[in-house]
Structure 1
Amino acid sequence: MRIVVGGADGAIGRGVSARLVTLGHDVVGFGARRPESWPGTVEFVTSEVYLADTTKGADAVLHCGGTHGLDGVAADVGRVVVMSATWPVDDTTAAVDGAIVVRTALVLGRHVDDAVLTRFTAPVFVDDGSADRPLQVVHAHDVERVLVRAALDEDLPTGRVDVTASEPTTLRAIATAVGRPVVTVPGPLARVLARRPVTVPTLDPTALREDWGVTPTYDAAQAIEDFTLACRGRIAVGSAVHDIPWRLPRVLSIPAVDAPAADGVEPVPAGPGEVTGEFDTPIDPRFPAFIATNLSEALAGPFSPSSASVTVLGTRAAGLVISERLRPGGAVQREMSVRTTGVFGHRLYAGITTGHFMAHTVPFIDPNLVLSGFFGHTEDGLELFGEHLPPVEPRGLVRQLRGGLTFANCLVGLSAGSRGDTQAFVADVERLETAATDPTALDDQRLRELILLGRDHVVHGWVLSSASILLCAGYGVVMRLLCGRDVMPAAGDELVSAQALGAVHRLAAAARRDPVAAKLLSEPDVDAATLAARAPAFSAALSDELALIGHRGPGEVEMRSATYADDPDLLVRMVSKALTALPRDLPRLPQVPLRARAVGVAAATQLREREVRRDRMVRAIWVLRRLLREQGRRMVDAGQLRDIDDVFYLLVDEVNAPPPDLAGIVTRRRAEQATLQGLVPPEAFSGHWTPTEGPTTAFGGGEVLHGIGVSGGSARGRVRIVQAETIDDLQPGEVLVAKVTDVGYTPAFAYAAAVVTELGGPTSHAAIVAREFGVPCVVNARGATARLVTGTVVEVDGATGEVHVL
């Protein structure tokens, strides 16, 4: 169907349009201005064009802005749906001949219009005498579902239908939930300050329930709780909503990656058609260079579509937040907000040209030093600029001073609010996990809502983690200025990313104290079930550790991957191998000069904060994975999918609003992933990329592979090339060599002689854990997995970054 959505520049209009597009309909947005998040592939018409011209030939018109302008709808439109809000009072709520008029209560939720945010994020809430009167509310998602059904279901009766949650609440309850004090102001002044209507009509949801068979998924309390996520970290001043400088609010709208820039520059494909994946990023030719580095640690790829709709969305939201904090302005800021990260061959890349301009915002520091701290030396020799340069302000003294103020504001402000943001996110994930304790007991709509909420929690986790990386990089710059060299302060025993490796050490120690467990672990076919039956004390310790780190595992951000909770036998085998490993001396703490110790403490604190945020984000992914598997099971039972894991080849939005021919979509995407899996993508490229040919010769005796030493000490052992699915092949005393590792690999550090990765920098998660536990580690060793051969004996020097082939 061709459906014109009026008011598509508002939150409800955008949400309805997205659902209709996912369902496979031809959507035309209509509004005062095109939203930045509007996809480039979906038509949008500004309201300067007459509505009659836009709606001509449409199957339906769905207007989310009241009845104003509906007299311009073309006469041949067969179906008209109108959303009419009752708070504030809409004087145009009368029925429209031949139309469905959807009246809504106060719309709440984590994605709402600025008008609602402005009401409830003011510093105080003024009571005009109505704060304790019953107030009807409804969640935005419930409204969107009703509107979509009204547009598509031809059997529904025309006329008015009211949409509201079953039980009312009060304005005071909402104000209290979002943390705003209620102030009583006497007299007529109260009504002026409160800016609320005197009367609000009472809605009757009887027709919705009896004629439509619809009951809203969210009750009033749940809608308010979800609304607090949108209000957190925001404050209204006058008629505008602002981010609180020391907090990180949730991103409400992410710019579309395929839309043209404000100056008209169109994005272009970076790869040839046969290797461009469905979710790959078109690039602005003025910002041509991209690099696969620490991002690949999170999602090595080629990733699944479900991972694309979670992690890729999260990295893009993080780029938006960073651009708003650094504020370089103009085309550079827009590029940062849209393509700080890119996707090529369904693998994550960082925009290195964008990173160059980002580094220029750091005052009085060579940008190359900042880039090397993030990306290592992979970008050496890469052309950062295309034929046309973006318009940028010269890096003069005034700009550096301004950058210094921005830099200091980010460092001090975000550090001040860091703990609060982290604690709030931890609580959010705990509530999600509680709600999803038994996915099989959830009704279908509640299950889909928790999937959407889990996705949005992961996106926010990426925002928080990326802000922590920004803070850690900032403190690194200050430490360099104070110390004259790079100094990485130790994060200490509280480092959350070290818990998985610590768990292996603790379990190995427990096994040494338990002769039965030690004997069982020495047998080749030991498993968790046998340990539970014959070594209950050790099994109880294993259960405790799984409760702590069970959500982690190799390739933990990829939705298809198994975690240690999914496969506890993998952790058992790692403990068994750790029992035979030689003890390792803990590293000496780096010497931080007295003048830099206060900064070093702050830097270590932020490093720990970053790992807590990342850990909770991974926990949210773990919960989301369980919810998706339950959804996949139900879709298999309904005949929509063939296999439960087919659900990972759908986007999260497609799970919520299934498009036609799900089985065909899954088949096509599985084939595409198999094709992309056979490609060797470049580590970095500028403007255009093609698959690389692997080296034809392996390293021979006497040759040296150079990388960046991130954890001192040297070790000798045989090479073992591993990926997430083959980490179990690593044997005690071997050198773990991988394209990239995430925290889920780190339990294997307990018995690996050393670690070598092709990608990554000094601040990668694995590098941090290796330093804490004294594991020799070299990152950014280009060609390691291609030219080192399993079984080759090497010596790894974690201080110099050299890998000697013996």
Structure 2
Amino acid sequence: MRIVVTGADGPIGRGVAARLVSLSHDVVGVGARRPESWPGAVDFVVNRRATADVLKGADAVLHAGGSGLDDLVDAVRDADVERLVVLAPVWPAASIPAGVDAVVVRTGLVLGRHVDDALLRMCAGPVVLDVDGSADRPLPVVHAHDVERALVAALLDPGASTGRIDVVAGNTTLRAIAAAVGRPVVGVPWPLRRLVPRPIGDLPELTPDRDLGYDVAQTVEDFALACRGRIAVGPAVRDIPWRLPRVLQIPAFDAPSPDGVEPVPAGMGSANGEFDTPIDPRFPAFIATNLSEALAGPFSPSSASVTVLGTRAAGLVISERLRPGGAVQREMSVRTTGVFGHRLYAGITTGHFMAHTVPFIDPNLVLSGFFGHTEDGLELFGEHLPPVAPRSLARQLRGGLTFANCLIGLSAGSRTDTRAFVDDVARLEAAAGDPAALTDRRLRELILLGRDHVVHGWVLSSASILLCAGYGVVMRLLCGRDVMPAAGDELVSAQALGAVHRLAAMARRDPVAVRLLSEPTIDTDALAAEAPAFTAALARELDLIGHRGPGEVEMRCATYADDPDLLIRMVAKALVVPPLELPTLPPVPLLAKPVAVAAADQIREREVRRDRMVRAIWVLRRLLREQGRRLVDAGELGDVDDVFYLLVDELDAPPPDLAGIVARRRAEQLRLQQLDPPEAFSGRWVSTNEPAVAIQGGEVLQGIGVSGGRVRGRVRVVGAETIDDLQPGEILVAKVTDVGYTPAFAYAAAVVTELGGPTSHAAIVAREFGVPCVVNARGAAARLTTGTMIEVDGATGDVTVLGA
């Protein structure tokens, strides 16, 4: 169907349009201005009125705001549109003449975490005004998602009766809403009431609908997420400088820039995947370092609709904090990250301009801290440079003020943001306790909420990375060299490695546990029966780290809770390796100690945020699998894990032929797996499928040493699926590692990765536990072969091949 949505620049119009697009309908949006999140492939008409010309050929029209209703009704009749759906808090029967097939959807006050209209302005102010003593009167409310579903159903069901539909969850009060968003209610004195407009007009009595995704309490609680970290100043809603609110709109990556530059595909021929990012030719260079640690590819579509969305939201927030302005800021907000061949990349050209905002520091030094040396020799700029102001003294001073504001402001609010996020994820986990007991609608709502929590987790984690980089710059200025402060043994990302050490230490005190763990095949039933203390300790550790695992951000990957035997085998391997002595890190000069303390604090904050984000992914994975089971039972999918080949939004608004979509995407993923994309490229990328030339004896790979120590051992090249192949005393070599690999550090002689930087999660853990580690050793996983004897120097970054 062809459907025109008026008021498409408002939150409800955007939400309905997104659902209709997911359902494979042809959508045209109409509004006063095109929303930043509006997809480039979907038509949008910038106009306050929907004329008959705009409506021509439409099967249905939604009035969600914008045009006057009388004008719209005339245009509907002139264009011979079959169906009109009107969103209205009151019944506008007088406005709709006989003969027009119309449905009016009446609602209460529409709340939700993505609401960005006048209600947000009212509730985000310093206080909520009670103008006429109505703060305790019953107020009907409903969640935006429930309204969107009702509007979509009214548009798409030609057999539905015309007339009035009420959509409301129930009644609350303005005072209850104010309490939920943490604002006091202040009464307006009688003499001033005429001067202050009523915040909420009269709403009719509506009949509550029980078949909704959100009840009243859940609706109000969800709306509080939109208000958190925001303050209304006059007619505008601003971010509180020391807080990180949730992103309400993520800009579309495929829309032309305001200056008319069209994005173009970066892959050659069949290399482009369904979710790949077209690039602005003025910002051509991308690099896989660091981001591949988070999400190795080719990733699943479900991961694309969660993690990729999160990294883009993070880019938007960072661009708003650094404020380089112009085309550079827009590129940062849209394509700080890109997807190529279903693999995640960072925009290195964008990063270059981002580094220019750091005052009095060579941008290359900032980039090397993030990306290592992978970008060496890469052409960063296209034929046409974007307009960039010269790096003058005045501009550097301005950048210094912005930089200091970010550093001080975000540091001041970081613990508050972290605690709030920890609580959010805990509530999600409690709500999703038994996925099988959830109604279909509530299950889908928790999936969407889980996705949005993960997106916010990426925003928080990326802000912490920005802070860590900022403190690193200050440390360099004070110390004259790179100094990484110790984060301490409470580092959350070290919990998985610490769990292996703790369990191995406990097993050593229990001869029965040692005997059972030393068997070639470990009998977990016998372990539970004969070593109950060890088994109880294992259960406690799984409660702590069970949500983590190799490839933990990829939805298809198993965690330690999914496969406890993997963790048990890691403990067994750690038993034969002497415990490591924790290293003594170089002293920090007295002048830099206060900065080092703040930097270490931010490293810990970052790891807590990342850990809770992974926890949210773990909960979301369970919810998705439950949805997959229901789709299998309904005959729409053939296997539970097929659900990971669907986007999260497609589960709430499913397109036709889900099985066909899954089959097509599985085939595409298989095709992309045969390609070997480069670590970095500029403008166009070509698969490098030629077999890598093995390194000969005596040759040296140069990486970045991030954890000192010189060891010799045999290579074991591993990935997320083969980490269990690593044997005690071998050197773990991987393209990239994430925190889920770190339990294997307990018995690896050393760690070498192709990608990654000094501030990567695994590098920090290796440093804290004294595991020799080299990152950014280009070609290591491709050119080193399992069984080769090498020497790793974690101080210099040298990886020397000794022989077979």
- Normalised to the residue count of structure 1, the TM-score between the two structures is 0.97
In structure 1, list runs of 5 or more residues that go unmatched.
Answer: none
Q: Secondary structure at the match of 2:327?
A: helix
Aligned to 2:153: 149
Counterparts of 1:285-684 in structure 2 under 5 Å? 285-684=281-680
Deviation at residue 105 of structure 1 after TM alignment: 0.6
> 2:56 maps to what in 1?
56
1:443-489 superposed Cα distances (whole Å, 9 cap, x missing partner): 00000000000000000000000000000000000000000000000
Q: Secondary structure at the match of 2:799?
A: strand
Instruction: Report which stretch shifted further, 63-72 or 262-271.
Output: 63-72
Which string of whole-angstrom CA distances, capped at 9 and with x for unpartnered residues, describes residues 71-111 of structure 1? 2224411111010135xxx9788656431011111000101
**What SS is found at the alignment partner of 1:756?**
strand
**Structure 2 equivalent of residue 130 of structure 1:** 134
The CA deviation at 1:197 is 4.7
Measure, in 2, the Cα distance between the counterparts of 1:197 and 1:357. Answer: 45
Instruction: Spell out, residue by residue over 1:771-799, the C-alpha distance to the aligned partner (whole angstroms, 9 max, x if none).
Output: 00000000000000111010000010000
Q: For residues 482 and 93 of structure 1, do their structure 2 counterparts lie closer, same or farther at Cα, with a shift above 3 Å needed?
A: farther
Q: What are the within-5 Å matches in structure 2 for residues 56-205 of structure 1?
A: 56-65=56-65, 67=69, 69-70=71-72, 71-73=74-76, 74-85=78-89, 97=98, 98-128=101-131, 129-165=133-169, 167-190=170-193, 192-193=195-196, 195-197=198-200, 199-205=202-208
Write the deviation string for residues 517-540 of structure 1: whole angstroms up to 9, x where unpaired. 111000011143332122111000
Work out the CA distance in 2 between the residues paired with 1:626 and 1:409: 40
1:50 is displaced (CA, Å) by 4.9
What's the counterpart of residue 761 of structure 2? Answer: 765
- Unpaired runs of 5+ residues, structure 2, are none
Verify the 8 A CA contact 2:57 2:79 in the aligned structure 1.
no
SS in 2 for 1:265: coil
Tell me if the contact between 1:709 and 1:797 (Cα under 8 Å) persists in the aligned partners: yes
- SS at structure 2 position matched to 1:259: coil
Residue identity opposite 1:143 in structure 2: V
> Which of 235, 241, 251 lines up with 2:237 in the alignment?
241
Distance 1:529 1:191, change over 3 A: farther
One-letter amino acid of the counterpart of residue 146, structure 1: A
Cα contact 1:106–1:137 (8 A) shared by 2: yes
Write the distance in 2 (CA, Å) between the matches of 1:68 and 1:493. 67
Q: Percent identity?
A: 79
Kept in 1, the 8 Å contact 2:70–2:95? The answer is: no
Q: Distance in 2 between matches of 1:102 and 1:625?
A: 34
1:674-730 CA distances to partner (integer Å, 9 max, x unpaired)?
Answer: 111111110000000010134542111111111000000111110000000000000
What CA distance in whole angstroms lies between the structure 1 residues aligned with 2:685 and 2:384? Answer: 19
Structure 2 distance, partners of 1:145, 1:54, is: 24
Checking the alignment, whether the CA contact within 8 Å between 1:267 and 1:284 is kept in structure 2 is: yes
**Contact conserved, 2:791 with 2:801, CA < 8 A, in 1?**
yes
CA distance in 1, matches of 2:432, 2:189: 46
Q: Secondary structure at the match of 1:236?
A: strand
Indicate conservation of the 8 Å contact 1:67/1:92, yes or no: no
How far apart are the structure 2 equivalents of 1:669 and 1:35? 29
| Cα deviations by residue, 1:559-597 (Å, 9 ceiling, x for unpaired) | 000000000000000000000012322111221000000
Show the counterpart of 2:43.
43
Residue by residue over 1:236-265, the C-alpha shift from the partner in whole angstroms, topping out at 9 and shown as x without a partner, is 011110000000000000000000000000
Q: How many Å separate the matches in 2 of 1:136 and 1:508?
A: 58
CA contact (8 A) 1:721 1:785 kept: yes
- Matches of 1:530 and 1:351 in 2, distance apart? 52
Question: Would the aligned equivalents of 2:89 and 2:204 in 1 still touch at CA under 8 Å?
Answer: no
Measured after TM superposition, the shift of residue 360 of structure 1 is 0.2
Alignment of 1:747-786 (within 5 A): 747-786=743-782
1:235 aligns to what SS in structure 2?
strand
Secondary structure of the 1:393 match is coil
User: Are 1:7 and 2:7 matched, yes or no?
Assistant: yes
**2:425 and 2:453 in contact (8 A); partners too:** yes
> CA 1:311–1:536 in structure 2 vs 1: closer, same or farther (change >3 Å)?
same
Task: Provide the rounded CA distance (Å) in 1 between the counterparts of 2:443 and 2:411.
Answer: 36
Assess, with a 3 A threshold, how the Cα gap between structure 1 residues 126 and 190 changes in structure 2: closer, same or farther: farther
Distance 1:571 1:196 in 2: 56
Write the deviation string for residues 158-183 of structure 1: whole angstroms up to 9, x where unpaired: 11212111x31000000011000111
Shift of 1:192: 3.6
Q: Would you say 1:229 and 2:225 are equivalent positions?
A: yes
Q: CA 1:733/1:493 → structure 2, altered by over 3 Å: closer, same or farther?
A: same
Partner AA of 2:631 in structure 1: M
2:69 aligns to what SS in structure 1?
coil
> Structure 1: which amino acid aligns with 2:703?
G
CA distance in 1, matches of 2:701, 2:723: 22
Which range moved further: 564-573 or 151-160?
Answer: 151-160
Code of the residue aligned with 1:58 in structure 2: it is A
**Cα RMSD (Å) of the superposition?**
1.3
Q: 1:17 to 1:50 in 2, by over 3 A?
A: closer
Query: Retained in 1: the 8 A contact 2:295–2:551?
Result: yes
Secondary structure at the counterpart of residue 770 of structure 1: helix
Q: Give the secondary-structure state (helix, strand or coil) at the position aligned to 1:136.
A: strand
327-336 or 512-521, larger mean C-alpha shift = 512-521
